């Protein structure tokens, strides 16, 4: 546990690089946030805490009308959209320019 | 490959049969003394009472449902969940995925020992040609795979599959892994194998819409399950490893189907309402092939042959169902305080559907155990003690 802050700092310093693994932060967040909100029907605060994996995203937006979640984290952007009641949410293969 | 199945018409239940299937709840609510469930409730829902100083974020139970002889003995929800709320099933979804395979194989007249190659060209090189559907359902294909989650995400194929490079086509990632063992000889729990099975299942349908509707037509609707969501990857294949959702009572219906060897009564409830003396059920419908259900709970030989890091593996497995069996060569089991007859669908963050076949009972527990691990052995032991009273 003592090494955790150093580990996190290293990740942040490295976040300027496009490391594919770092997509996990934004992609897991948007996918699980989308499912939590639009499939499970929980509120944003619960879902925000639930969807966080390993590290928090730096920013996110929820479009309630189109049922889409976007997020940025560690140099990558993620997007997930709600498809239907039966098929729930799906992660989309879209990279947005870093805001 | 599609031509093999093009001529196979999807068998639909006859309309008159479909209309007769029991869809109202098979469960009845009974009043039960709260003191009887006090310890069970406390261990599940009041983790702070048990946490030591090392536990910064203890387990979180969102739902518990305990049913015996179709009577709801105990039911409780927390953290914003209710009996209507669909909950993430995570790897409990795998047991639903297996049921779909069982249904489809019977429709196609194929058995479990059919090589996957007969359906899909994905496994067409070297040793991979020998991988059968049974091997995949037993998590024993021999395909190399690292199944880690938050604890060690860097070398995890699951994390890669779900979130990083391969979420558009999860089955293809699994099929591309190198062979590490001869098929059928080594147990290696792999979410990839379930998603490969779901991709193989997709290849037995010509139309995407027929595949999309299949779990509802063949499994959920006949059982009266109406809270289900099942998410797909980018190629339109069900994420059978992880992305099923339903509420606790609906999952209990699936558990009940497995307890009843795939059979479901025709309109039992309605008959009872119309005629209170109608205690005898005249007929059942086979929702899941009975032979497939029987095989689902047979011990996969690979699990007893497998040694992890030099130690015998405590895990025993059937066809996408966890067992609590002792292997002949070792006297250890996954949950030592529980009987060997236990059958379990277990998922990430503490999801569980546990069947007690000898007691005709089942337990659903939903959780969000993101940090500390819920002690399933200790908790299920308390539940079991109540069930056998």
Q: Could you read off the pLDDT of B142-177 as tens digits, one per residue?
A: 999 999 776 666 778 998 899 988 899 999 999 999
The residue range of the domain holding B134 is 2-24+86-339
Which chain B residue shows the shortest CA-CA distance from A77?
Answer: B164
Predicted confidence (pLDDT) per residue in B43-82, tens digit: 999 888 776 545 556 799 999 999 999 999 999 999 999 9
Contacts of B167 in chain A (CB under 8 A): 27, 91, 93
Torsion angle of the four alpha carbons B272, B274, B278, B282, in this order, in degrees rounded to the nearest 10: -80
Q: What is the CATH number of the domain that holds B175?
A: 3.40.710.10
Q: What does the buried/exposed string (b/e) look like for B113-139 if buried means 16 or more CB atoms within 10 Å of the residue's CB?
A: ebbbbebbebbeeebbebbbbbbbbbb
User: Do A54 and B150 make contact, defined as CB atoms within 8 angstroms?
Assistant: yes
Q: Which residue has the higher pLDDT, B56 or B328?
A: B328
User: Can you give the pLDDT at residue B7?
Assistant: 39
Which pLDDT does position A99 carry in this prediction?
Answer: 40
- Residue B164 contacts A, CB cutoff 8 Å: yes
Does residue B74 contact residue B64 with C-beta atoms inside 8 Å?
yes
Q: Show residues of chain B in contact with A88, CB under 8 Å.
A: 229-231, 243, 245
Does any domain span residue B51? no
Tell whether A11 is within 8 A of chain B (Cβ). no
Task: Give pLDDT tens digits for A41-57.
Answer: 999 999 999 998 778 99
pLDDT, residue B49, reads 79
Is B150 close to A42, i.e. CB distance below 8 A? no
Q: Shortest Cα distance from A24 to chain B (angstroms)?
A: 5
Q: Is residue B362 part of a domain?
A: no
For residues B121 and B201, give the distance between their C-alpha atoms in angstroms, rounded to a whole number: 13
Indicate whether B15 pLDDT > 70. Answer: no
Please report residues of A whose CB lies closer than 8 A to that of B162: 28, 31
Residue A15 has pLDDT above 70, yes or no: no
Q: Which residues of A touch B168 (CB under 8 A)?
A: 93
pLDDT tens digits, one per residue of B274-287: 655 555 556 889 99
Query: Which residue out of A40, A82, A84 would a mutagenesis test of the B interface target, given it has the greatest number of B Cβ atoms within 10 Å?
Result: A40
The pLDDT of B88-116, averaged and rounded, is 98
Q: Is some CB atom of chain A closer than 8 A to the CB atom of B152?
A: no
Substitution target in B60, B161, B163, B366 with the highest count of A β-carbons within 10 Å is B163
Give the nearest chain B residue to A44 (CA atoms): B80
Q: Is the pLDDT of residue B90 over 70?
A: yes
Which of A90, A93, A94 to probe by mutation at the B interface, max B CB count within 10 Å?
A: A90
Three-state SS at B337: coil
B178 in contact with chain A, both atoms CB, cutoff 8 A: no
Interatomic CA distance for residues B54 and B42, integer angstroms: 20
Within a domain: B15:
yes
Residue B278 confidence (pLDDT): 55
Lowest model confidence (mean pLDDT) among B101-110, B155-164, B265-274, B325-334: B265-274
Q: Answer yes or no: do B245 and A40 touch at CB < 8 A.
A: yes
- Asked, for residue B376, whether it belongs to a domain, the answer is no
Put simply, the answer to whether B163 touches A54 (Cβ < 8 Å) is no
B329 found inside a domain: yes
CB-based contact A87 B229, cutoff 8 Å: yes
User: Cα distance from B329 to chain A (closest Cα, Å)?
Assistant: 38
User: In chain B, which residues have their Cβ closer than 8 Å to the Cβ of A38?
Assistant: none
Residues of A within 8 A of B165 (CB-CB) are: 20, 23
Tokens of A67: 């049922």
What pLDDT, in 10s, does the model give residues B212-270? 999 999 999 999 999 999 999 999 999 999 999 999 999 999 999 999 999 998 765 55
User: What would the mean pLDDT of B119-131 be, rounded to a whole number?
Assistant: 96
For B175, phi and psi rounded to 5 degrees? -65, -25
> Given phi > 0 = left and psi -120 to 50 = alpha, else beta, which region is B320?
left
- To the nearest 10°, the Cα dihedral for B75, B78, B82, B88? -100
Alpha-carbon distance of B384 to B339, in angstroms, equals 9
* Top-confidence residue, B118 or B371: B118
Inter-chain contacts counted by CB atoms under 8 A, chains A and B: 74
For residue A98, name the pLDDT band (cuts at 50, 70, 90): very low
8 Å CB contact of A88 and B231: yes
What's the ipTM? 0.88
Chain A residues in contact with B154 (beta carbon < 8 A): 21
**What's residue A93's pLDDT?**
75
CA–CA distances in Å: residue B262 to residues B224, B312, B357 = 14, 33, 13
The answer to whether residue B208 sits within a structural domain is yes
* pLDDT interval class at B318 (50, 70, 90): very high
Average pLDDT, chain B: 89
Q: Mean pLDDT across the stretch A66-79?
A: 94
Task: Say if A53 is an interface residue toward chain B (CB within 8 Å).
Answer: yes
| Mean confidence (pLDDT) of chain A | 83
* Amino acid B165: pLDDT: 84
B302 min Cα distance to partner chain A (Å): 33
The verdict on B159 touching A (C-beta cutoff 8 Å) is yes
Residues 6+ away with beta carbon under 8 Å from B21: B13, B222, B224, B264, B266, B267, B285, B287
- Identify whether B54 is part of a domain: no
Does the beta-carbon distance from A46 to B164 stay under 8 Å? no
Q: How confident is the model at residue B330 (pLDDT cuts 50, 70, 90)?
A: confident
CB–CB of A93 and B234 under 8 A? yes
Measured CA to CA, the distance from residue B252 to residue B241 in angstroms comes to 19
- Overall number of domains in chain B: 1
Give the CA distances from residue B144 to residues B112, B243, B310, in Å, rounded to whole numbers and listed in that order: 22, 22, 18
pLDDT band at B12 (very low <50, low <70, confident <90, very high): very low
């Amino acid at each position: 546990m003592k090494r955790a802050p150093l580990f996190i700092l290293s990740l942040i310093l490295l976040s300027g690089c496009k490391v594919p693994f770092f997509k996990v932060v934004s992609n897991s967040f948007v996918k699980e946030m989308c499912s939590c909100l639009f499939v499970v029907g929980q509120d944003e605060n619960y879902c925000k805490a639930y969807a966080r994996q390993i590290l928090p995203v730096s920013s996110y937006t929820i479009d309630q009308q189109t049922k889409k979640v976007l997020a940025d984290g560690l140099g990558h952007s993620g997007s997930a959209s709600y498809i239907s009641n039966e098929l729930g949410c799906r992660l989309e293969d879209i990279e947005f320019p870093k805001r | 490959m599609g031509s093999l199945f093009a001529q196979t018409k999807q068998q639909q239940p006859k309309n008159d049969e479909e209309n007769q299937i029991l869809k109202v709840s098979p469960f009845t609510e009974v009043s039960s003394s709260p003191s009887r469930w006090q310890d069970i409730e406390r261990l599940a829902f009041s983790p702070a009472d048990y946490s030591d100083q090392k536990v910064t974020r203890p387990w979180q139970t969102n739902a518990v449902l305990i049913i015996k002889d179709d009577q709801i003995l105990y039911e409780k929800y927390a953290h914003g969940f209710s009996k209507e709320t669909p909950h993430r099933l995570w790897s409990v979804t795998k047991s639903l995925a297996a049921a779909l395979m069982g249904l489809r194989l019977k429709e196609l007249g194929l058995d479990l020992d059919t090589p996957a190659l007969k359906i899909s060209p994905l496994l067409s090189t070297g040793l991979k040609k020998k991988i059968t559907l049974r091997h995949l359902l037993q998590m024993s294909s021999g395909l190399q795979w690292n199944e880690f989650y938050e604890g060690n995400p860097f070398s995890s194929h699951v994390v890669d599959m779900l979130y990083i490079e391969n979420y558009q086509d999860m089955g293809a990632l699994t099929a591309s892994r190198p062979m590490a063992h001869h098929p059928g000889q080594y147990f290696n729990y792999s979410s990839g194998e379930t998603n490969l099975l779901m991709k193989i299942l997709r290849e037995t349908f010509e139309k995407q819409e027929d595949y999309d509707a299949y779990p509802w037509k063949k499994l959920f609707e006949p059982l009266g399950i109406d809270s289900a969501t099942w998410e797909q990857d980018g190629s339109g294949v069900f994420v059978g490893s992880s992305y099923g959702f339903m509420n606790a009572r609906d999952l209990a219906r699936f558990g009940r189907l497995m307890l009843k060897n795939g059979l479901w009564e025709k309109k039992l409830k309605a008959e009872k309402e119309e005629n209170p003396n109608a205690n005898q059920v005249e007929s059942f419908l086979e929702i899941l092939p009975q032979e497939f259900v029987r095989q689902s709970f047979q011990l996969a030989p690979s699990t007893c042959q497998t040694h992890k890091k030099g130690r015998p593996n405590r895990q025993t497995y059937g066809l996408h169902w966890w067992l609590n069996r002792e292997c002949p060569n070792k006297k250890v089991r996954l949950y030592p305080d529980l009987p060997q007859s236990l059958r379990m669908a277990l998922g990430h963050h503490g999801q569980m559907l546990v069947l007690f076949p000898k007691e005709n009972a089942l337990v659903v527990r939903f959780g969000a155990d993101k940090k500390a691990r819920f002690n399933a052995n200790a908790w299920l032991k308390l539940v079991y003690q109540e069930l056998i009273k």
